[in-house]
Amino acid sequence: MTKSAQTAVVGVTGYAGAELARLLLHHPRLKGKPPVFAGRMDEKDAARGGVPLEEIHPQLADNNGSSSLKVEPFSWERLKDHGVEILFLATPHEQSREWVPEALKHGMRVVDLSGAWRLTDTKNRAVYAFEDDGSDIAVKTQAQAVYGMPELHHKEIANAKLVANPGCYATSVILAVRPLVAAGIVDVPHGIVADAKSGVSGAGKAPTSKTHYMYAADNLSAYGVFSHRHTGELLEQIGIGAGDIVFTPHLLPIPRGIMSTIYVRFNDPQTHASVERIYRDFFAASPMVRIYEKTLPQIQYSVRTNFADIGFQISSDGRRAVVVSCLDNLLKGASGQAVQNMNVMLGWNEAEGLA
């Protein structure tokens, strides 16, 4: 266990980057060691030594020194001079493919928030169409990647050099389904249906025609049907085949939050108590998962927290269940989970700085 660590964030300008900066700036273990913020910038900003953090995210300004922080011009030499030990990449997938091998070469441990290194199966990874896929350096780097879901891979994350932070939709569905499938009670060939809905921040900060207010407000739309990038994560982490699940994401006209409603059939009749016991046993050592006994979770209960909330109802014949899973897509679905992974990597309490 280390007492503290020097962190750095590359890609702080987005929604997830802002939340990551906020969490790290207020983390009790990092007092006196604010993160190094770095990114690419034009010559004008580079000439003034970078861009003040509060110009990008005014909400992060406070009286404890963060007002003096800048997003500095990115360079490996600069990160090394700062003594960076844990590097967070909130960068596009392609950028992470380029920078992660370099970071590892410089002896930094990496938490990558992109989808660059989440998938081990070549067929699942094909959705990203990475130009370097199959190259020696990509294969070597992928072999070092650990899927960053502490509820599933705590031991591996603790020793990892590269943690691939899960996708937000994937987190909500995997946490809800994996315990039931692992217990052997789900009739997997019958099929699992995951109907998921996310607020518009899940699409990122860059505006598009479908995240524009005039499109998203007072609307609800499905997208990425049979083709969403998070599907491969579901297959690999739940341990099912491509024909065993239908996952459909929807754009919900709210700023943040995810609700996944999941439909499963059991091999044999179950009771509410038997299913609850499976969840509680599976997550007994997982402080960031809350199991609802009598009610179903709602987005408003988990938004702006790092909790994943899971609740369920059993049909009268005990053969079917509807599972509802909610989380904040920017926290447990992105930056909060990244900090949770950092805590595990450094031997700290998993929930430190989050609960």
pLDDT tens digit at each of 355 positions of the chain: 778 999 999 999 999 999 999 999 999 999 989 999 999 988 898 888 899 999 999 999 875 667 789 999 999 999 999 999 999 999 999 999 999 999 999 999 999 999 999 999 999 999 999 999 999 999 999 999 999 999 999 999 999 999 999 999 999 999 999 999 999 999 999 999 999 999 999 888 887 888 888 888 999 999 999 999 999 999 999 999 999 999 999 999 999 999 999 999 999 999 999 999 999 999 999 999 999 998 999 999 999 999 999 999 999 999 999 999 999 999 999 999 999 999 999 999 999 999 7
Phi and psi based region of residue 353 (left: phi greater than 0; alpha: psi -120 to 50; beta: remaining): left
DSSP E strands, the chain: 7-10, 36-39, 51-52, 70-73, 86-89, 109-112, 145-147, 162-164, 192-199, 221-222, 245-252, 258-265, 289-291, 308-314, 320-327
For the 7-166+334-345 domain, the top CATH level (class) is alpha beta
Whether 136 and 176 have beta carbons less than 8 Å apart is answered as no
What is the pTM assigned to this prediction?
Answer: 0.95
Would you tell me the crossing angle of helices 336-345 and 15-25 to the nearest 10 degrees? 40
Whether 308 and 351 have beta carbons less than 8 Å apart is answered as no
- Residues 354 and 306: their CA atoms lie apart, in Å, by 6
What are the two backbone dihedrals, phi and then psi, of residue 264, each rounded to the nearest 5 degrees?
-130, 155
Fold of 168-329: Dihydrodipicolinate Reductase; domain 2 (3.30.360)
Would you tell me the crossing angle of helices 150-158 and 168-182 to the nearest 10 degrees? 100
Please work out, in degrees rounded to the nearest 5, the angle formed at the alpha carbon of residue 249 by the alpha carbons of 246 and 252: 150
Residues forming the active site:
168
Tell how strand 221-222 and strand 245-252 pair up.
antiparallel
Q: Delimit the domains of the chain by residue range.
A: 7-166+334-345, 168-329
